[in-house]
Chains A and B, each alone.
Chain A
Amino acid sequence: MRVLVVEDDKKIASFIVKGLKQAGFAVDCATNGEDGIHLALHESYDAAVIDIMLPKLDGLSLIEELRRNKINTPVIILSAKRSVDDRVKGLQTGSDDYLTKPFSFSELLARVQALIRRASGAAEATRLTFGDLSMDILKREATRADKKINLQPREFALLEYLMRNPGRMVSKTIIMEHVYDYNFDPQTNVVDVLVCRLRNKVDRDFEKKMIHTIRGVGYVLKES
C-alpha cells in the first residue's frame, strides 16, 4: 500500500510519514503543491493526505487537477480551518475525507485505512468474528463464547464498527460519525457512556478484556 503525503510543515510531515511507515505503508512526501501534483500524476497511490494551505499550488486546486486527470485516488484533506464551509468545499472538490488540525495520528491512520478499504470495494461480510466474539448482522445477534449478548441498537452498531475494524484505533469523532451519523462534535460524554455500556455487556463477565481505551485518543478492539 502506497500513500502520498503533501504537507509543507516539515515536523508534521515527518510525523505523518514516520507513523504511516510504522503502520506498514510505503510513503512519498512532497512539501509543496507543485511537487505534490507531479508525484500524484506520475506515480500510483492507494491514498493521499493533502494539506489545504500549500505553497505554489493549494490543496483544493491540487485535488481538482487530479480529478481532471481522472485519478481517483482517495484523498484526505488536512486543514487548520474548522468551518463547515471549508469542509463542504473540500468534499465538493473531490476529496473523500476531512481532518482538522490539530489531529491525532491514530485518527489519521484510521481514516486512511478506512478509505483504502472502501476504495478496494470489498463486500461487507454479514457474519463477523473476532476472538470468541461473533456477530450476525442480518439476524442482529451478538455472542461471546457462544453466550448471547443483548445489545440495544446503538450498542450493536458500535460493536459492529469495532468488529469491522479490529485492532485499529477508533476515535470518539469516528464513533460519532458512524454510530450516530453526526458530523458535528457535541462535546459531550455520550460516546464514553456508550462505550462503557458496551464494555459492561461484552467484557464484564470475562477475564480477557476486548475493548480497550487509549487515553486521549480513542478505543480499540483487541485481545489483550
Chain B
Amino acid sequence: MLASGSMEPALTLTNVSWRHKIRDFSNWKPWAKRDGPGIHSINLEIKPGFILGLIGPNGAGKSTLMRAICGLYDSDGFNKSSSSRRSGIGYMPEQVRWEGRVSVRNSLRTIAMMRDKEVDIDDIILKVGLSSKSENYLDDLSQGMRQRLSLACALLGDPKILVMDEPLNGLDPLAQRAFCNLLKDLASKGVAIVISSHQVTDLEALVDRIALLHHGQLLIEGTLPNVRKKLELDAGSGIVEMICSVTGINPEDISLDLANDDLLPFRQIGVEEE
C-alpha cells in the first residue's frame, strides 16, 4: 500500500446508479422490459495503491458496480468518461469460459490489439505463469489456466486500476497465494485494485479497505478496523460477521434456505421502485 494522505483518487463515483432491464411479464408485449435490480446512488473513491474489497451477499450488486466502473454500462456519475476509464482499467470478469481452437497467445493478441498502446505479450504471459501453455488451444486449458488468461487480459497495457470479479475462483492454493502476492506488488506500485471474492479469509488478508454492498446500495466503506468499529463488532470479527450485521441475520442462523428477501434491506428501496 502506498502512503495514504491527500492523494488524488484514481476514480471518483458520485451517485452512480444503474438498473438492469428485465422482461416485463405483466405486459403482453414480448419485448416489454422494466427496471430490475441494479445499483443505487453509489458514492466511492478508488485510491491509487489501495486494494478495495467489494463484499456483500449474492445479488448485492458487486458485479454490476464493477461493470459500471469498467464502462460496460452507460451510467453517469464518474469523474472520467467511459472511454478514458476503459483506457486505464484492466478488467477481469468472473469465470470466463475461454474456448475454441485458438492458441492462448493468439487470444491474448486479439485483446491486446484492442488496447491503445503497444503491449509486450510475452512479458504478460510470463507474469501470469502461462509460458508453457502459450501455444495450447483454449479448449485444452484447465479452469485455473483460464483464470490466469483472464488475469493476463486484465494486466494488458499497464492499467492504473484493476477491477477483478471473483479472481480466486478455480485457482489452486499456491496460485491463489501467488495471485495475492502479485496484487500486493501491483498495489505497492500505485495501481488501484477493486476486488470481489467470496473467499473471505483470503480477502481479509489482502484488502486495505472494504466496501459493503447490499440491495444495490453501498452501506459502509473503510478500513477493516473502521468498519468493525462503525458496526460495533469485536476486533476479531471478519467479513461474514460484517455481512450478517448489515443484513440482520444472526450468524448462528445462517443456512442455504435463507432467501435473499429474508435479508434485511438497509433502506426500503422496494417502495421507491414501485
- Bound together: no
| Residues in chain A within 8 A of chain B (CB atoms) | none
Taking beta carbons and an 8 Å cutoff, which residues of B are in contact with A? none
